[in-house]
Amino acid sequence: MGPFKLLIDGQLVDGASSQKVLNPSTEDLVAMCPHASHAQLDQAVAAAQRAFPAWSSVPVEDRRKALLGMADAIEADGQNLARLLTQEQGKPLQDAMGEIYGAAAFFRYFSTLSLPDKVIEDSEARKVISRRRPLGVVAAIVPWNFPVILMAFKVPAALLSGNTVILKPAATTPLTTLRIGELVKDILPPGVLNVIADANDLGAAITAHPGIRKVSFTGSTETGKKVMAGAAEALKRITLELGGNDAAIVLDGADPKTVAPKIYNGAFQNAGQVCIAIKRAYVHESIYDAVCDELAILANAAVVGDGLQQGVTMGPLQNKTQFEKVLGLIEDAKSHGKVIAGGARIGEKGYFIRPTIVRDIDDGTRLVDEEQFGPVLPVIKIKDGEDALRRANASEYGLGGSVWTSDLDRALDLAGRMDTGTVWINKHAELAPNIPFGGSKLSGIGTELGEEGLSEFTQLHVINMAKA
């Protein structure tokens, strides 16, 4: 498979060296990936700087056409891209198809937006106009769980607003992104979009680079702190979408057979490797046993295997480091709760873990307090909604959460007091390109998606003119 190339200044080029990309289902080689050097990063930034004046002056209608052309290119090669994504990331092929075509839809959505001037005041004394101007070179750093759709959270918004981009995928999932760079290279002027790959060794150089004006990063909270520190010297703009420990609060009166499948899907999509996955479920004591039983049935029915195999509903963990972390959390949980489904790896090759349900566990344990980012869900018994709300808000994370009940007034009251960026009611982890998304506390800074997300790639510019 391959060859895979970096995209720098409109040209497909080899890396200074190469590195292996492994299939997490087999631990076999998918392909060799180019590894960019620090010098190539500098070349990419210089190319983006050169391209910025012309690209930022291009009429927004032409930038919209470029986004639509990129969407067309992604869709036209959608099946090949999805297969490649499954091979390097592990998710079932059907889910990979959804990610690829979903990314194209995000490009199309951003092509409908605009950044019009706004008249703040037009009086006898003065006229005040606010404008949104592009920042310059933007770095988009994307993680390994959803490498393509999360790229589409960033790149179309950055491009539409007139910025040029350095795109860096995660070291373990670079291939699909590099292929997309190859597909779209002739749609954009040279230097407008540059795609580089590394071995987790260029992140610090990117965030501190004097030629980069903004960093949009999705990943772990600990790495996000490093991004923030690296950007501080130049006071460059940052958007950080970081870790989460989303709580689902299931109140009395909820029907276990109705809510359990939705909670299961909210927890175990992409083998639990979702920043906004349900990572702890607080269930009312009156329905606790029934909900636990339903979740166990669903977990035991999952078909875990290679995402390219027909009928598979859950793939592997994406990489060995995460695989070993999750196994360690499960082992620790066995000392604090009761495993009623899963609880072990599958086979001797590949990073497979059966979906795991742990009941009779409580706050203060690693599995409840930490972000597991894998296929294991702790279910905690609660006495009432206030008890659950207090526990949910005690977390240092605040990305998302959900409330499950037939009493919508009660749900709205609890949802309004959850300290998170997003709260869902009777559903979880629903995102759309027009709905702003961001976290509170250690879950991030700034907003992605929607008009609010678009504005984060711009500088507010105010013109205040005297009339007299």
Q: Is 275 known to be catalytic?
A: yes
Pairing state between β 237-241 and 444-445: antiparallel
Supply φ then ψ for residue 425, to 5 degrees.
-120, 120
Q: How far is 50 from 192, CA to CA, in rounded Å? A: 9
3-class secondary structure, 10: coil
Structure token digits, residue 323: 């695989």
Q: Write down the number of H helices and E strands in the chain.
A: 15, 22
Q: Is 292 known to be catalytic?
A: no
Q: How far is CA 447 from CA 64, 329, 345, 348, 455, in A?
A: 21, 31, 37, 41, 9
Q: How far is 443 from 217, CA to CA, in rounded Å? A: 12
Question: E strands within 142-184?
Answer: 164-168
Q: How far is CA 67 from CA 48, 166, 193, 406, in A?
A: 17, 16, 12, 42
The single residue of 99, 275, 292, 371 carrying the catalytic annotation is 275
Q: Cα 129 vs. chain centroid, distance in angstroms?
A: 35
Which residue do the tokens 């072990």 mark? 344
The single residue of 33, 88, 99, 241 carrying the catalytic annotation is 241
For residue 203, the tally of other CB atoms under 10 A from its CB is 20
Which one-letter DSSP state was computed for residue 2?
-
Closest CA to 174 of 11, 323, 30: 30
Structure token digits, residue 381: 């018994």
Active-site residue set: 241, 275
